[in-house]
Structure 1
Amino acid sequence: MERQELEAFLALAEELHFGRTASRLGLSAGRVSQVIQTLERRVGVPLFERTSRRVILTPVGERLRDDLLPARRIIDGALARAVAAGRGITGTLRIGYSSSMAANLLLKAIETFRTTYPDCDVTIQEIQLSDPYGPLRSEQVHLQVTELPVDEPDLVAGPVLYSSERALMVPSAHPLARREAVSLEDLAHETLLTIGGAAPQHWLDYNFPRRTPSGHPIPQGHAAISWQEIPFLVAAGKGVSLACTDAEPHYSTPGVTWLPIQEPLPCRFAPIWPKHGTTSRVRAFLETLHLTARRPGTGKDPRSRTCPV
């Protein structure tokens, strides 16, 4: 059985329409009919019943389809592995993440990636926001999923994978905790807990602003090395801090109340990688990652997808 016969038969067995099959295979409807007729002469019996209204499989055609599908999957897998080897999609791919929710998306993408590229091992590790790009620059990881914005000449940021509105964490005994929502203007009267270390200023200015929208200064408090410290500092009454609304189920802490913020200040996550580190492994994983992010059941639309802090 020739490859074109196999492809034409299985495509027609699925589509049950010569026009759609021809479009799918990039052939003319006449050529598809010719290939099927050649295969039927080889088998010795009709594989399809054709009328002016429909195309259906004969019992022999059904049996042949059922017998060929497992072989087709084996062939497709073997070809994918051969292509992967030819493109250099082997070895180890190291990926970073800066929150547990980013890790959840990565784990789903990795599961799919390993099926397609079994000769490429994938590892993941957490990236601290206090040094968000250090592991990339030291080649500890090849790419990572992290918070935007990224304005670094040596790094590339891909399209946004998901985003969420912003919330303010306050001590549960704080007067603001009795409100339904708060404004960024309220921060002029609070101490804002932030991230320290090597976090770049442009990133801090967006995620932990120094001024309210009207220009009032926002008092800056303790700069934590790890974001995981911040909810406990809020509970202890050391200040307030910003996070993504959808992060609350993952980072809920006793004594902390999460309040929606009225102004738009979306939290956005995207993959980033070194400008000169776009290898075939990275490209293949990015493709898988974006397909995973768009897959039903993995979250919201990328413009409003669940995201961590």
Structure 2
Amino acid sequence: MELRDIEIFLTLAEELHFGRTAERLHITPSRVSHVIKKQERRFGAPLFARTSRTVRLTPLGEELRDELLPARHLILRALERATAHGRGTTGELRAGYTAPWCAELLLRAAAAFRSQYPGWTVQTREVSFNDPHGPLLRGELHTQIAELPVVEPGITVGPVLLREPRALMLPVDHPLAAGPTASLEDLAEVPLLRIDNIRARPVVDVHFPQRTPMGRPIPRGPSCASWHEIPVLVAAGLGASIVAARAAEYHARPGVAFVPLRDGPTLDYGVLLPADGSESPVRAFVGLLHTLTDTAPA
């Protein structure tokens, strides 16, 4: 397989859609189809199961994806090092985040990191709900701070950096909004917004439960594709959402109340890294993140 064909296969394995794959790679859908058919003839078995509505990986396709991803990371890093050497610079570290308090932690670490590695720059970017691990798996990021748990081939979960108390984001006129705290059992009394089209099922299962601890069903609210939809829907009275308690500092708005949850697990944020390893500057950056959370003021 040529390198370009490998890239087409891995992109389709991620998108599971011929049109989006073609758009991302700036080629035609017929080119994607031709390459995949050629690969399947070579292996003598299908890599994807296709219907008129869905595309999914076969077991052979999943095995090939999991074995190719580490090699792809190695190639991308080798190209980055060669580019940095050729330009006379040390390099650029790219870090992702999913919440603003994680972004602030990354920026604090970046300031300390640049003093240790003056030839390096640090770029940060927000990672969306609907593609929570794609940038890291594609080599677009060197590391990421994200909600846990994460179970994803090709990703290693590093240390937990933040353990956040949780709160219930509610319409301000809901009866639960008048109390000092709320319980997970109270979720039987309010529709819980849902996160759909997300590839982070372990996080969704923990923090967007379908039943209370005593087994009562939790009413289902509207579905969301991104975080930015949640406060809008809550303010409109359409449901509630479990959030980090400190979200009240960043996302307060008219029509929304934040009530601390007195039970259930904390919302933990940890470091994600490529499973095939990282360069020493990246490991040093992760060490700084851990140091900063150990010494951060309460």
State the alpha-carbon separation in 2 of the partners of residues 118 and 225 from structure 1: 39
Matched residue, 1:191: 191
Map 1:38-53 to 2 at 5 A.
Answer: none
Aligned residues of 1:158 and 1:270 also touching (Cα < 8 A): yes
TM-score normalized by structure 2?
0.67
Matched residue, 1:153: 153
Q: Give SS of 1:227's match.
A: coil
Matched residue, 1:90: 90
The one-letter amino acid of 2:227's match is W
TM-score normalized by structure 1?
0.65
- 1:139 shift after superposition: 1.4
**Number of matched residues?**
211
The one-letter amino acid of 1:245's match is A
State the alpha-carbon separation in 2 of the partners of residues 143 and 207 from structure 1: 23
Matched residue, 1:258: 258
Do residues 99 (structure 1) and 99 (structure 2) align?
Answer: yes
- 1:161 shift after superposition: 0.8
Aligned residues of 2:198 and 2:225 also touching (Cα < 8 A): no
- Change beyond 3 A, Cα 1:199–1:153: closer
Q: Give SS of 1:180's match.
A: coil
- 1:274 shift after superposition: 1.3
Matched residue, 2:288: 288
Aligned residues of 1:98 and 1:145 also touching (Cα < 8 A): yes
Map 1:1-309 to 2 at 5 A.
Answer: 90-295=90-295, 298-300=296-298
Deviations along 1:267-304, one digit per CA (max 9) or x if unpaired, are 11111011014222221211121122223xx343xxxx
- Change beyond 3 A, Cα 1:185–1:132: same
Aligned residues of 1:167 and 1:258 also touching (Cα < 8 A): yes
State the alpha-carbon separation in 1 of the partners of residues 107 and 237 from structure 2: 35
Ranges in structure 1 where 5+ consecutive residues have no aligned partner? 1-84, 301-309
State the alpha-carbon separation in 1 of the partners of residues 219 and 200 from structure 2: 19
- 1:153 shift after superposition: 3.2
State the alpha-carbon separation in 2 of the partners of residues 175 and 124 from structure 1: 40
Percent identity between the two aligned chains: 42
- 1:135 shift after superposition: 0.9
Deviations along 1:156-199, one digit per CA (max 9) or x if unpaired, are 11111111211101111111112221111111232111222223
- 1:131 shift after superposition: 1.8
The one-letter amino acid of 1:244's match is A
Deviations along 1:14-47, one digit per CA (max 9) or x if unpaired, are xxxxxxxxxxxxxxxxxxxxxxxxxxxxxxxxxx
- Change beyond 3 A, Cα 1:299–1:154: farther
- 1:254 shift after superposition: 0.9
Aligned residues of 1:188 and 1:219 also touching (Cα < 8 A): yes
CA RMSD of aligned residues (A): 1.7
- 1:120 shift after superposition: 1.5
Deviations along 1:101-126, one digit per CA (max 9) or x if unpaired, are 10111101000000110111211100
- 1:200 shift after superposition: 2.1
Q: Give SS of 2:230's match.
A: helix
State the alpha-carbon separation in 2 of the partners of residues 294 and 165 from structure 1: 17
Ranges in structure 2 where 5+ consecutive residues have no aligned partner? 1-84
The one-letter amino acid of 2:259's match is L
